[in-house]
Amino acid sequence: METIKDRITAVYQQISQATKQASRRTDDITLVAVTKTWPVDTLLDAYDAGLRDFGENRTDELEEKRAAFETVRGRESGVTWHFIGHLQSRKATAVADSADVFHAVERVKIVNKLQDRLAQNGRLLPVFIEVNVSGESSKSGIDCSRWEQDATQQSALRKVTRAVLVAPNLSLLGLMTMAPWHAPDEEIRTVFARARALAEWLRDDLRLERPLQLSMGMTDDFEMAITEGATHIRVGRALFGERHNN
Ligand SMILES: *Cc1c(COP(=O)(O)O)cnc(C)c1O
């Protein structure tokens, strides 16, 4: 039977090939192991096999697993907890208290709710703003399906980005996007390339000092995402197998 260790090795080999192809460095890629639906024992195995970034998409799971994990490995385990799911504003407190990175900012209201709580708990939260570049209606994120020629879409993104920039306890890491489901490779690649171009446009537009990072790529498409500029890939099934209860 394939162990988690074997699967991690295989994923790292794929990452290494893709970075080589793109003349990038493997150090520039953060592998976020998406542990949603898996029990804390799976996270402990993944930790022992060397993984240090975990991604959850439900606040109750994040809180429970983080607490259970830290009971075993302590609070200084070196794990970074990523919240990668859609966030309803009434759950913002949980993310402000328990996530180390949030990948799916899409509204000013969420930014404000997070900031209110972070001002209380004294934590800092780096975030990605989620953009919907593919235009698929099932996808969350700010509509950027025609951002190249649509000034309204540009200003919607600018508005949320400015809210993040002025929030004292939030910092802007970059943009997050999802590829369309079951699309041909070329279409997926184009979505990633357009997200990258959007990040470059936004940086120029707001005169940001540093380049924006890109959270994009999952089990079926992370190699393409890397060749198109991803800095954070969010991988579940390739590491842990199929999820049964989600
Ligand atoms: C579940 C999930 C992933 C991981 O998907 P896999 O196909 O298992 O790699 C990545 N990103 C988000 C936002 C998810 O919800």
Q: What confidence tens digit (pLDDT) does each residue in 66-115 have?
A: 999 999 999 999 999 999 999 999 999 999 999 999 999 999 999 999 99
Percent of the chain with pLDDT over 90: 95
* Residue 5: pLDDT over 90: yes
Q: Which residue has the higher pLDDT, 96 or 245?
A: 96
The reported pTM is: 0.97
Q: What is the secondary structure of 136-170 as a DSSP string?
A: -TT--SEE-TTTTT-HHHHHHHHHHHHHHHH-TTE
Alpha helix positions (H), the chain: 4-21, 40-48, 59-73, 92-98, 108-121, 151-166, 185-205, 222-227, 237-240
User: From the CA of 236, how far away is ligand 1's center (Å)?
Assistant: 6
Q: Which of 11, 57, 233, 243 to mutate to test the pocket of ligand 1 (most atoms within 8 A of CB)?
A: 57
User: From the CA of 24, how far away is ligand 1's center (Å)?
Assistant: 23
Supply 238's token pair: 């390739």
pLDDT category at 245 given cuts 50, 70, 90 is low
Residues in the ligand 1 pocket, defined by CB under 6 Å: 34, 36, 57, 84, 218-219, 234-237
